[in-house]
C-alpha cells in the first residue's frame, strides 16, 4: 500500500491532473482523461539499440529476437558484405511499441567512429545491445562507455559461438564447458576494464538459438522493460489464454490504485442510506475501463462472436454476473455497495492508511480511497473470472466451427 503514489503507472502529478479534469468536466471529461492517460502508455516507445562493428551479426540478432526468418517480411537484411547502411527501426510483430534499431557497422567507411559517436544520441534508447563476434575491440569499448555515460542499461552479446566452437574443438584437450567459460570471462573482464562495474554478457549463435544464452537474453530483454511498460503490454494483449487474462489482473491493479488515490483527492460524497462516502462516478469510470480492457464490453464481445462464428449470448453462457457486460449504472453500483462488506474493507484499509502520511495529508478522505479500492478490486476479480468463462466459450465455439484447426 505504501507504494501507491510512487507506482510507475502514474505519479502525484497525474493524480492531480486527473482530479482537476474531473472537477472541471465531470464524468464525461474524466472518462476521456483516463482514456487519454492509458493511450499515453500505448504510445510509449521502447527503443533497443543494436550496435557493434560491421559484420558482427547485429541484423541477424534482431531477426532472431523478432523470431523472423531473414527472408520474411519485416526482417532486417543481413549479409557477408557491408549490409546495413543507415539506422533503421524494426518493430516487434505483436508488440509494435518495442522497436529494435539496427545500426550500421561502427568501423565502416561510411560511419567512421568519430562521426558516429558525435552524431548518435545514446540517451534516446532504453536499452543497448553491443554485438561482438570475437575480440572485444576498441570500438566496442567506446560504445560501452557511451551507453554508460548516457545512463542506459546494456548487454554485450558475443555472437557466432558456433564458429568459435568449431574452430576450438579441433584443438588438443578441448573441453566445451571450459571454452564457454573462457569466452564469457574474457567478455566480462574486457567490460570491467572499460569501467563497467556489473557487465551482462550473453553468448549466442544465430544457428543454434536453443543453445548458449539466447533463451536468457530474450528473457532479460523483457525484464528490462519498466514495470509500466510491461503492464501496458500485458493489458493490451488479446485474451488468448487464462494466463493472459491473469496477467491482465495484475496489470490493471496499479490503475485501480490510481483511481482510488484520485477518489481521495476529489473528496468523498456521502451516499444516502449507506454509512459511507465515496465517489460513484469514479467507480463507474474505473469499472468501464476494466470492462474494456478485458474485452467484456458489448463491442468487443460482438467482434469476438463474429470471429468465432457464434453469438454474444453463447459467449456469455454460464457466467454468473450479468452486470459486468452492461452499461454499469449508479443503481448497480449502489446495489453492489450494499452487498459488499464495506465496513470490513474500511477497518482493514484504515490502519494501513495511517502509516502512509502522504495519503493522509494530501487526501483527507481515506475512507473514499478504501471504498473505491475495494469496489474496483472486487469488480476486477469478478470480471477476470467472467473473462475466463467467455474465453472457454469462445474456444468451444471455435473448435465446433473448425476455426483454427
Ligand X SMILES: Nc1nc2c(ncn2[C@@H]2O[C@H](COP(=O)(O)OP(=O)(O)OP(=O)(O)O)[C@@H](O)[C@H]2O)c(=O)[nH]1
Interface with ligand X, residue 69, by CB under 6 A: no
Total residues interacting with ligand X, rule: CB under 6 A? 22
- Residue among 132 and 393 whose Cβ is closer to ligand X: 132
Helix intervals (H) in 111-241: 113-119, 138-149, 161-169, 176-193, 214-224, 227-236
List the grid coordinates of 105.
557497422
- Residue among 104 and 286 whose Cβ is closer to Mg ion: 104
- Let me know: does 131 contact 56? Beta carbons within 8 Å: yes
Minimum distance, C-beta of residue 74 to ligand X, in the bound complex (Å): 15
Q: What track of x and - describes contact with ligand X for positions 97 through 136 (by CB under 6 A)?
A: -------xx-------------------------------
Interface with ligand X, residue 257, by CB under 6 A: no
- Residue among 54 and 264 whose Cβ is closer to Mg ion: 54
Interface with ligand X, residue 293, by CB under 6 A: no
Minimum distance, C-beta of residue 76 to Mg ion, in the bound complex (Å): 6
- Residues of this chain that bind Mg ion (CB under 5 A): 58-59, 83-84
Interface with ligand X, residue 60, by CB under 6 A: yes
Interface with ligand X, residue 361, by CB under 6 A: no
Interface with ligand X, residue 80, by CB under 6 A: yes
- Residue among 102 and 126 whose Cβ is closer to ligand X: 102
Burial 266-283 (b: 16+ CB within 10 A, else e): bebeebeeeebebbbbbb
Which residues ranging from 215 to 254 are in contact with ligand X (CB under 6 A)? none
Interface with ligand X, residue 83, by CB under 6 A: yes
Minimum distance, C-beta of residue 68 to ligand X, in the bound complex (Å): 12
Q: Give the binding range for ligand X (CB under 6 A) out of 91-99, 159-167, 216-224, 284-292.
A: 159-167
Interface with ligand X, residue 263, by CB under 6 A: no
Which residues ranging from 386 to 405 are in contact with ligand X (CB under 6 A)? none
Strands 88-91 and 269-270, sheet pairing: unpaired
Minimum distance, C-beta of residue 86 to ligand X, in the bound complex (Å): 10
- How far apart CA 371 and CA 278 sit, in angstroms, is 6
- Residue among 59 and 368 whose Cβ is closer to Mg ion: 59
Choose among 185, 121, 179, 118: nearest CA to 156. 185
Among 207, 298, 355, 360, binds ligand X (CB under 6 A): 207
Q: What residues contact residue 107 under an 8 Å CB cut-off, 6+ apart?
A: 53, 54, 113, 137, 139
- Residue among 59 and 97 whose Cβ is closer to Mg ion: 59
- How far apart CA 335 and CA 337 sit, in angstroms, is 5
Q: How many CA atoms lie within 13 A of 359 on its CB side?
A: 27
- How far apart CA 259 and CA 368 sit, in angstroms, is 11
Listing from the earlier edge strand, what are the strands of the sheet with 98-102? 88-91, 98-102, 46-52, 127-132, 154-158, 201-203
- Residue among 92 and 160 whose Cβ is closer to ligand X: 160
Choose among 4, 26, 9, 40: nearest CA to 264. 4
Burial 247-261 (b: 16+ CB within 10 A, else e): bbbebbbbbbbbbbb
Residues that bind ligand X (CB under 6 A): 54-60, 78-80, 82-84, 104-105, 159-160, 162-163, 205-207
Amino acid at each position: 500500500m505504501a507504494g501507491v503514489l510512487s507506482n510507475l503507472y502514474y505519479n502525484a502529478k497525474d493524480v492531480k491532473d486527473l482530479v482537476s479534469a474531473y472537477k472541471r468536466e465531470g464524468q464525461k471529461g474524466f472518462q476521456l482523461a483516463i482514456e487519454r492517460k492509458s493511450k499515453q502508455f500505448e504510445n510509449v516507445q521502447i527503443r533497443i539499440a543494436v550496435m557493434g562493428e560491421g559484420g558482427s551479426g547485429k541484423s541477424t540478432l534482431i531477426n532472431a529476437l523478432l523470431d523472423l526468418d531473414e527472408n520474411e517480411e519485416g526482417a532486417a537484411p543481413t549479409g557477408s558484405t557491408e549490409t546495413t547502411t543507415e539506422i533503421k527501426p524494426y518493430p516487434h510483430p505483436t508488440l509494435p511499441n518495442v522497436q529494435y534499431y539496427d545500426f550500421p557497422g561502427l568501423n565502416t567507411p561510411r560511419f567512421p567512429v568519430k562521426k558516429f559517436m558525435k552524431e548518435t544520441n545514446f540517451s534516446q534508447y532504453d536499452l543497448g545491445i553491443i554485438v561482438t563476434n570475437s575480440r572485444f575491440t576498441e570500438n566496442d569499448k567506446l560504445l560501452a562507455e557511451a551507453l554508460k555515460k548516457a545512463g542506459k542499461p546494456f548487454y554485450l552479446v558475443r555472437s557466432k559461438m558456433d564458429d568459435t566452437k568449431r574452430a576450438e574443438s579441433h584443438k588438443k584437450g578441448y573441453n566445451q564447458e571450459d571454452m564457454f567459460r573462457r569466452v564469457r570471462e574474457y567478455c566480462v573482464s574486457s567490460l570491467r576494464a572499460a569501467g563497467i562495474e556489473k557487465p551482462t554478457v550473453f553468448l549466442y549463435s544465430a544457428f543454434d538459438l536453443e543453445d548458449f544464452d539466447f533463451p536468457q537474453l530474450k528473457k532479460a530483454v523483457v525484464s528490462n522493460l519498466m514495470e509500466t511498460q510491461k503492464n501496458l503490454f500485458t493489458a493490451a494483449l488479446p485474451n488468448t489464454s487464462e494466463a493472459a487474462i491473469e496477467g491482465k489482473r495484475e496489470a490493471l491493479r496499479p490503475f485501480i490504485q490510481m483511481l482510488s488515490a484520485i477518489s481521495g483527492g476529489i473528496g468523498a460524497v456521502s451516499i444516502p442510506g449507506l454509512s459511507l462516502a465515496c465517489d460513484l462516478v469514479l467507480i463507474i469510470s474505473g469499472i468501464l475501463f476494466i470492462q474494456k480492457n478485458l474485452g467484456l464490453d458489448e463491442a468487443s464481445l460482438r467482434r469476438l462472436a463474429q470471429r468465432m462464428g457464434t453469438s454474444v449470448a453463447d459467449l456469455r453462457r454460464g457466467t454468473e454476473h450479468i452486470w459486468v457486460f452492461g452499461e454499469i449504472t449508479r443503481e448497480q453500483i449502489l446495489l453492489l455497495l450494499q452487498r459488499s462488506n464495506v465496513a470490513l474493507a474500511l477497518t482493514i484499509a484504515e490502519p494501513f492508511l495511517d502509516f502512509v502520511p502522504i495519503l493522509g495529508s494530501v487526501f483527507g478522505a481515506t475512507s473514499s480511497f478504501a471504498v473505491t479500492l475495494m469496489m474496483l478490486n472486487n469488480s476486477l476479480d469478478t470480471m477476470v473470472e467472467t473473462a475466463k468463462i467467455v474465453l472457454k466459450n469462445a474456444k468451444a465455439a471455435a473448435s465446433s466451427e473448425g476455426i483454427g484447426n
